[in-house]
Amino acid sequence: MEKLHKQEYIEELVAKLSNKVLTEEFECYVYGMDWSPRTVEEIYPPDVVICPKTTEDIVIAVKIAYKYGIPVTVGGGLTGMAGGAVPVYGGIYIDSTTMNGLIEIDVKNQTVRVQAGITLQEINDTLKKYDLWLPHLTESKWSCTIGASIACDNDSTFGMRYGKILNCLLSAQVVTGTGDVLELGHRKAHFTSSGYKLKDLLVGSEGTLCVITQATLKVEPIPDVRLVEMLLLPSMQSAVDLLSSLLKSGLSIEAAHINCKKRLRFYTHAYRNKYGKEPDVPDWAQALLAVTFAGDKEVVYFQREYMLKKSNKFNAQAIEEREIVEGWWTSKHTLRFEPFRQKWPDSQREKKFGAADPGIPPGRLEEFYLKFIDTAEKYDLDILGMNVYLEHPNSLGLSLSCAVFVDYRVQEEVNRFRKYFKELTKTAVEFEGTMSTYMGDTNLKVQNLEYEHGKSTEYMKKIKQIFDPKSIMNPGKKFTTKIEYGRR
């Protein structure tokens, strides 16, 4: 991109969007990274940042980008783990967090309409007074925006009952790569068999098709009571088998998470801060299953007792020390930490959290867990552990977080992490699974996309061409780009 060309499109943005445009280098720099392990040399600031307030602001920015052939990257809270919102080709960055309005709450029909930059926590803070909540909640709910949740298809703490964001998403307003405004979805109806389900294409699209500006979401009544329990089990697979048995019995589980013993240490950060020691876990226990039940008190406590009775057949043992259970739940959901003593960033001061996010068949968890350990050791990485999210309503849909610590100040260690990341995600496909369940493909997995999807990759590219004919929307993500934008 020649300097004159660059200056010309920025001047047009400033003329039309005025103080909603950031052009200083120090202002743009902070948008060149997310939470993925990367060195200082791998930070890619955009050339200019747009802080929109309305859909029309985004239309103006995208039409200028289309006119000049300038890359457009959209971001939210930048808590992504794999660089999905990093503008690797520079160009225009759209900071969606300035579009954080709540447009409508329809209590009778249990829906909410919001701008894409509102955080998950902000939605629920407002809904609470109506005795409603949005059950799609990530651990980063204070910074994760609804637009990012849709674009990344991230995981939720409560996926076991409510599923992922697609189960909540009814309709969305978007701006395509040409600047057209579309409404995709079925308004406030919960499903449709009319037309093609274009709305579903948004989920996991990583901003490569369009900019999500508004969304209509299905919300739920807040349960009266929630109870959290944790069980120790002899293996990761035995935790899956127990869950399968609980579902077969008819129990309604709100949330379920499986941790290996190593990962428990990460999630009991609050416990260590309070007691100055590691939780006492017996040597025989190699996995922990955390389960929540929610609803009327009588029903919740009945289900808990039935679960404990059922678990005896699987050599499971309930954790009796409530501080361990509550410390884990604090880390996972409530986030009520002591000031400056939080898991994030307190556990990240020396090395950074890095993870692969494969999805595998439930019957092969133990086998894949061992593969995760072997692969991390192969690349000499400090193992943080595995967490298994259960993300398909009322069934065994496994989403894995295979986490290690990475010294992001050392390029050689970051490179080893990338090799680990690539190998483990490819291994998931060989296990008849998928290489991503909540991070997306990003630029780290484009080499493996065809390995997983085969010839259908070509059809995906044709879909992108319809929405984004100049390939300006978040280039380099999902597909390798061949268009020269001026820098890589």
The encoded tokens of residue 431 equal 């296990």
pLDDT level of residue 4 (50, 70, 90 thresholds): very low
> How many Å from the N-terminal Cα to the C-terminal Cα in the chain?
11
pLDDT tens profile 181-205: 999 999 999 999 999 999 999 999 9
* Mean confidence (pLDDT) of the chain: 92
Per-residue confidence (pLDDT) for residue 112, from 0 to 100: 98
Q: In CATH, what number does 350-440 get?
A: 3.40.462.10
Rounded Cα distance, 348 and 353, in Å: 7
Architecture per CATH, 99-221: 2-Layer Sandwich (3.30)
Q: What is the mean pLDDT of residues 416-424?
A: 95
Q: 342 pLDDT exceeds 80?
A: no
Locate tokens 């404990």: which residue?
A: 308
Give the pLDDT of residue 36. 87
Instruction: Please determine, for residue 355, whether its predicted confidence score (pLDDT) is greater than 70.
Output: yes
| Residue partners of 478: CB distance under 8 A and separation at least 6 | 206, 208, 440, 441, 442, 446, 449, 460, 464
Number of H helices, E strands in the chain: 18, 18
| Candidate from 97-101, 224-228, 361-365, 441-445 with smallest mean pLDDT | 441-445
Looking at residue 347, what is its pLDDT?
58
pLDDT at 340 over 50: no
* pLDDT at residue 487 tops 60: no
CATH 3.40.462.10 boundaries in the chain: 350-440
% of the chain exceeding 70 in pLDDT: 94
Residues 6 or more apart whose Cβ sits within 8 Å of residue 9: 64, 65, 67, 68, 70
| Paired residues of 392 in beta bridges | none
Domain span(s) for CATH 3.30.70.3450 in the chain: 225-344
> What integer is the mean pLDDT of 45-74?
97
Of 118-127, 205-214, 346-355, where does mean pLDDT reach its minimum? 346-355
Q: What is the mean pLDDT of residues 347-376?
A: 91
pLDDT at position 483, please?
62
pLDDT value, residue 488 = 37
Whether 3 shows a pLDDT value over 60: the answer reads no
Weakest mean pLDDT among 43-47, 345-349, 366-370: 345-349
Average pLDDT over residues 471-487: 79
| Residue 339, preceding peptide bond in cis (omega within 30° of 0) | no
What pLDDT band is residue 336 in, cutting at 50, 70 and 90? Answer: low
Q: What is the mean pLDDT of residues 374-397?
A: 96
Q: What is the pLDDT of residues 434-443, one digit of tens each?
A: 999 999 988 8
Residue 226 banded pLDDT, cuts 50, 70, 90: very high
| DSSP class per residue in 175-201 | EETTS-EEEEE-TTSS---SS--HHHH
Q: What is the pLDDT of residue 429?
A: 96
The CATH class of the 225-344 domain is: alpha beta
**Residue 343: predicted pLDDT:** 56
89-148 confidence digits (pLDDT tens):
999 999 999 999 999 999 999 999 999 999 999 999 999 999 999 999 998 899 999 999
Please tell me which residue, 116 or 488, carries the higher pLDDT value: 116
pLDDT at 207: 96
Q: Kindly tell me if the per-residue pLDDT of 359 is higher than 90.
A: yes
The boundaries of every CATH 3.30.465.10 domain in the chain are: 99-221
pLDDT at 284 > cutoff 60 = yes
Q: Phi then psi for 233, rounded to 5 degrees? A: -135, 155
